[in-house]
Amino acid sequence: MATTIEKSTLAFLEELTQNNNREWFQQHKARYDAARKNYLAFLDEMLQEMEPFEPAAHGQKGKDLVFRIYRDVRFSSDKRPYKDHFGAYVAEGGRKSILPGYYLHLAGNNNSFVAGGLWMPPANYLKAVRQEIDYNLDELQRIVQVPDFKKRFGNITGEQLKTTPKGYDKDNPAIEYLRFKSWNAVMPIPDNVVLGKDFMQVVVEAFRAVKPFNDFLTAPLRDLGEQ
């Protein structure tokens, strides 16, 4: 039977949203530890389920993919000490990879989601992906306009330039994709699905559906020599 997300895990994250301070967190540290353990167990099984279609999942462990819950507030006006969610990133090189990958965001109040794509890449990656899109727009459109993809993820999202990227004409047929600085496919997941017995299947099938998009974004980065 597949690992499930326990009701107590979502309840902890929901309450943390309302009580994001060190005193409350320390009083509920045992609940945090139990919730994190549940999330890691889910990730470990998820990786096994992904292995048949995603080589990056091979040999990885949940603990290597999950982000710290402690926020770095040194340069932020938002001084809340904790993130109000659990997040994990599956890609070559683990959670710190700058390659396209798969993200699982677990949060209360119906704020969970899965996502794929490339998030805020460095300049050379950005340039390479834009060139790939310019050269192979038809291939990208075939991927993101498949009915199953559209049903799960809707339109591609991400931060965009307000102007036309350097080296491209505003009348370029691919301009709607070239303006992106991140290319993300995001599927929101309500709490009742997160807590359901089929949540593992929902996540893995979403990741399987987003793999062609990830592969398209990864292809032009292989020759850059930076992992």
Answer whether residue 174 shows pLDDT above 90. Answer: yes
Residue pair 64/43 in contact by the 8 Å Cβ criterion: no
- Read off φ and ψ for residue 72, nearest 5 degrees: -90, 105
| pLDDT tens-place string over residues 90-103 | 999 888 899 999 99
| pLDDT tens-place string over residues 142-153 | 999 999 999 999
Residue ranges and CATH numbers for the domains of the chain are 7-224 (3.30.930.20)
Q: What is the pLDDT of residue 78?
A: 80
Instruction: State how far the Cα of 74 lies from the Cα of 82, in Å rounded to an integer.
Output: 13
To the nearest whole percent, how much of the chain has pLDDT over 90?
89
Q: For the ranges 6-15, 71-80, 189-198, which has the lowest average pLDDT?
A: 71-80
Instruction: State how far the Cα of 31 lies from the Cα of 151, in Å rounded to an integer.
Output: 36
The residue among 215, 204, 130, 202 whose CA lies nearest residue 164 is 130
Q: Which residues share a beta bridge with 117? A: 101, 184
